[in-house]
Amino acid sequence: KTRKFKFGGYAAMITAAVIAILLILNLIIGQIPAKLDLTHNRLYSLSKQSIDLLKKINKDVTIYALFQSGNEDPVISEFIQKYAEKSSHVKIKFIDPYKNPGFVKKYDTSGSGIDEGSLIVESGNKYRVINRLDMINYSYDEQTGESNVTGLTIEQKLTPAILYVTAD
């Protein structure tokens, strides 16, 4: 009934209403599946050339990702999924190399083995193996002895591999 109490009540109601609106807005925005790549050099986005290639291919391509079950690399998994999203001809399959050593051996022509985390791109009877170490650029600090990831080269390896396996 006092003036302080009256304005304090209004302030509390307005604060509660603003918090409720922000919560509802956050829930609505959280349902939108869009993701933005805000990195300096668009590190996690496909280039226009790759997107154009994916729109033009007319052969089925399978990308086998060699990861132990439950131990998939989220960066590589999310990046190769973008290829499948851009073309209905691209399929992604995760293969556990420890549970399916015969599958991996089929693509190991050199006999030196294929590392876990590598990708195999296949279309028809053509394939290309992309080693996991070739998909990431590292820099080495001689003073500290640490190696740091400086960039991803997944697209620079995967797009030519798709072009190779789909070429006549």
Residue 123 identity (one-letter amino acid): S
Q: Is the pLDDT of residue 76 over 60?
A: yes
pLDDT band, residue 132 (cuts 50/70/90): confident
pTM of the model: 0.71
